[in-house]
Chains A and B, each alone.
Chain A
């Protein structure tokens, strides 16, 4: 059971330092004026220090055996969370920013610099990037497989479903914590979810990006490297001109008519083909020199989970679990930190490219 200790720093308790030993992953999300910190463990041995309610932090409490909540005060505006692996523990640092930018225009930049392994390789702009929600409001992350479906099983016993869930949770924590973009996970535990439901979660949450995280298998034991896949035609009937029926006029509540663009569910992705390919390219670019890429790094196929996605969408295959060396590497925190950071940077790059296109 991980032992979790909390420390509050700064005159107005603007920094919360949480050490979990042994190393434990966690995610931070902002919900209903609280920060919800969820640890990847079965239970926690947690000690919460006593303190008076402050303008930034009102209270810290345990929600359930693996979740803590930081109740925020009236002066809270945004937060930044970073994780840093220490010798025998994982350190989660949460910086709370004060509202009232007019009196403190440099507040975010003046926050104490956060030292963390992944952030050190990131462009300097990251450290100061507080929610500049520039065209990206929500991202859907899909951890492949789950429940009865283990996905690929490595020789040493690694299950794809577990590996990808850990990565998806950490990418979520990084994007929400540092960019303030809402991230929806299609699954946050070990359960089996129909493929159509995964895409539906992305569509119903109006996600602007969909990334499905997987680990690959090869019939050759030596195949290695990551690849990024986008949906490609190939199904019979697509080429023969089955298309969107286009806009139709439908009655609205309260009278009147409205034009609604009808898109067949299984063809939703076709109009995003170009941007999905572009997203795949950005991820490939960010992986370059950091995450080993396979000989064919970007490809397309009629991929079920992507075809109905109503937004740019890709599958990221992080490496081959059938390759013993890759299996060990993918389980190592160094690889995972770099992967999370590279995916984070690719999202940032995609967001900026969208801004430029406007």
Chain B
């Protein structure tokens, strides 16, 4: 083995160790310190404690073309992700007269994740697609009801990506691009 070959092999070895440290070792180290996407736990204590927060929930305006913010009491959540879950649960619950919800009837929250960077993933049941009326206006209103409910009430949430039955989707009804997270949008709020 020549001297050059020895140097080459050592260089490759060093590179491999560095790559492992960067892509596997460090994330594991940080992972232990809890810097992982947080998932909402099953319904538990906070609601029972009776503490509430005021949150802006979004409903369809009288002209049917915009959302309108309505202040509602929502159960307090101990963590950002738990609070996010409480807000979405309240948002997708049947609205009750005279409010009109842009979230199709029967839609339930399957799970909700929040990354440390503030990207939320809201996983809804298939009714959000199956019971949707279609039409650009209604689809835009459905999407921004969920996106704004989190982004407006929780400064920790930077973007919201909708999932349906645990999977990424392209659109709900053929119009709004859901392949990436969406940011707060108040142009559709009156």
Contact = CB atoms under 8 A, between A and B. Distances in A.
A219 B133 contact: yes
A329 B66 CA distance: 24
B96 interface: no
A217 B177 contact: no
B134 A219 contact: no
Interface residues of A, number: 43
Contact of A229 (B63, B136, B180, B182): B136
Contacts of A151: 134-135, 174
Contacts of A266: 179
B149 interface: no
A89 interface: no
Contact of A301 (B64, B65, B133, B140): B140
Contacts of A219: 60, 64, 100-102, 133, 138, 141
Contacts of B65: 218, 223, 227, 294-296
Contact of B177 (A144, A160, A307, A321): A307
A160 B175 CA distance: 14
Contacts of B62: 220
Contacts of B82: none
Contacts of B179: 266
B13 interface: no
B159 interface: yes
A131 B66 CA distance: 42
B181 interface: yes
A103 interface: no
Contacts of B66: 296
A216 to B, nearest CB: 4
A299 B100 CA distance: 22
B99 to A, nearest CB: 11
B158 to A, nearest CB: 7
Nearest to A235: B180
Majority DSSP secondary structure for residues of A touching B: mixed
Given A304-B175, A304-B177, A220 B64 contact: yes
Interface in A229-250: 229, 232, 234-237, 239
Contact of A152 (B100, B133, B159, B170): B133
Nearest to A300: B187
Interface in B70-120: 100-102, 119
A317 interface: yes
A149 B135 contact: no
A187 interface: no
B18 interface: no
Interface string B140-153: 11000000000000
A266 B136 CA distance: 19
A151 B133 CA distance: 8
Interface in A293-314: 294-296, 299-305, 307
Contact of A317 (B100, B135, B183): B135
Given A149-B174, A301-B140, A301-B176, A234 B135 contact: no
Contacts of B125: none
A340 B3 CA distance: 79
Contacts of A18: none
A152 B134 CA distance: 5
A145 B135 contact: no
B177 A303 contact: yes
B136 to A, nearest CB: 6
Contacts of A227: 65, 136-137
A320 B63 CA distance: 12
B177 A218 contact: no
Nearest to A301: B140
A341 interface: no
B10 interface: no
Given A214-B136, A218-B137, A144 B174 contact: yes
Given A195-B174, A214-B136, 8 more contacts: A151-B174, A223-B64, A236-B180, A296-B66, A301-B185, A303-B177, A315-B175, A317-B135
* Interchain residue pairs A-B with the least CB separation, the first 3: A217-B135, A220-B64, A223-B64
6 contacts: A218-B65, A223-B137, A236-B159, A301-B185, A302-B176, A304-B174
